[in-house]
Amino acid sequence: MNKRKLSVVLMILILITITSIIVATGLGPVTVSPVTVLKILMGKHASQLEYNIVWGLRLPRVLLGFIVGAALSVTGVAMQALVRNHLADPFILGVSSGASAAATLGMLFGTFSFLGIYSLSISAFLGAGVTIILVFLLSRVKGRIHITHLLLSGVAISMIMEALTNIITISAPNALGLHNAAFWMSGSLASAKWSYLTLPLCVMLGCISILLINYRNLNSLVLGEEAAGTLGVNVGRVQGLLVLISSLLAGTTVAVSGSIGFVGLMTPHITRMLVGSDHQRVLPVCAFMGGLLVMWVDVMARMVIAPEELPVGILTALFGGPFFILLLKRKKV
């Protein structure tokens, strides 16, 4: 696929994304027509109820879903390039487990209440940060990241954090807090606010830009460390960069949406089927595909048992689990 064809594909994805945002914003227990949504977005007159639903509730949620999906998908691409395994996902280093431990501690016992209205997001991000620092330190051998140690350290730290989370939930002082913690850990966009969009958006755009600048290094790294080294790639620097970017993206995403699994596993595979394996094409297309996936799964989550809703992570797991099994059976790894 040449650059002209890639530009056409991206333009089509942009149009699909804009259309999806308008349509998805109107879908829910109370339906708002796409025409009305478009009028509200253009600043034209609408009823106060429709305005509040679109501008106050749905639009920030839809946009956050797109940002989260794009970030998770790009993280999946980066992790798969780092460990040279197409079955790697954004949470393989235990980031979600660390975030869950810190978030449940804050939700159930108010440990981070001094952080104010953003205590949940900040505590989750801190938990993710502590986890990845531990994994990074444990994975270094003679000053370089050892991939096997990185994966094993991620598994070990993840199990420790999950154990801590279980201890915290067992000690929960009230059932309501336990329910809220379980709902958040399953992945949800229900608490989306306009103020939640800025940081994840900036982190996502910045990390994608850095990865695109280094796309040749990613292509080389997939061939193996020795092959990449002979091509002039500073393998240690690229590996450190991928760990940093993956951790930052995953930590920021978990902080605003909880743990939404399988998106970072499924979307890179679907993207490679469509555009090949060159990371210059995979990264931007994967971001749009992942954003659209989470956006529409969230629409399903709020409509399946309306007026109640399901956590997004449950539905992505229901779709992602069979997809993962299919990958294994077809040996597309």
Task: Return the DSSP state at 273.
Answer: H
Q: Please spell the DSSP secondary structure of 127-195, one letter per residue.
A: HHHHHHHHHHHHHEETTEE-HHHHHHHHHHHHHHHHHHHHHHHHT-S-HHHHHHHHHHHT---TT--GG
Q: What is the rounded distance in angstroms from the CA atom of residue 23 to the CA atom of residue 14?
A: 14
Residue 325 confidence (pLDDT) above 70: yes
As a whole number of angstroms, the distance between CA 192 and CA 46 comes to 23
The tens digit of pLDDT for each residue in 92-145 reads: 888 888 888 888 888 888 888 887 777 888 888 888 888 988 998 888 887 777
- 9-32 pLDDT, tens digit each: 999 999 999 999 999 999 988 889
d(CA 96, CA 164): 13
pTM attached to this predicted model: 0.89
Distance from C-alpha of 226 to C-alpha of 129, rounded to nearest angstrom: 30
Highest mean pLDDT among 73-87, 96-110, 199-213: 199-213
**Total residue length of the chain:** 333
- Residue closest to 63 by CA, chosen among 198, 184, 153, 208: 198
Give me the pLDDT at residue 24, please: 95
Spell out the domains of the chain, with CATH numbers in brackets. Answer: 3-330 (1.10.3470.10)
* Residue 268 pLDDT grade (very low, low, confident, very high; cuts 50, 70, 90): very high
Average pLDDT value for residue range 58-70 = 95
Of residues 86, 73, 83, the one with CA closest to residue 261:
73
Cβ contacts of 310 within 8 Å, gap of 6 or more: 301, 302, 304
Q: What is the pLDDT of residue 209?
A: 96
DSSP secondary structure string, 31-73?
---HHHHHHHHTT----HHHHIIIIIIIHHHHHHHHHHHHHHH
Query: Across the strands, what pairs with 140?
Result: 145
- Kindly report, residue by residue over 165-186, the tens digit of the pLDDT: 989 888 877 777 777 778 878 8
* pLDDT at residue 332 is higher than 60: no
pLDDT at position 333: 45
Note the pLDDT of residue 306: 74
- The confidence score (pLDDT) of residue 188 equals 86
- What is the pLDDT averaged over residues 135-158? 85
Please choose, from the candidates 70, 95, 94, the residue with its C-alpha nearest in 3D space to the C-alpha of residue 268.
70
Residues 29 and 10: beta-carbon distance below 8 Å: no
Burial code of 47-77, b = ≥16 C-beta within 10 A, e = fewer? eeebeebbbebbbbbbbbbbbbbbbbbbbbb
Can you tell me the distance from the alpha carbon of 326 to that of 5, in angstroms, rounded to the nearest whole number?
29
Mean pLDDT of 228-252: 87
SS3 content of the chain, % helix, strand, coil (to 5): 75, 0, 20
pLDDT in tens, 47-62: 888 899 999 899 999 9
Instruction: Find which of 53-57, 65-69, 217-221 is predicted with most confidence, using mean pLDDT.
Output: 65-69
Tokens of 30: 């109370």
* Residue 141: burial class (beta carbons within 10 Å; 0-12, 13-18, 19+): exposed
On the question of pLDDT at 331 being above 60, the answer is no
CA distance 320 to 302: 19
Q: First vs last Cα of the chain: how many Å apart?
A: 22
What is the rounded average pLDDT for all residues in the chain? 87
Tell me the per-residue pLDDT of 308-320, one tens digit each, with 9 for 90 and over. 888 898 899 888 8
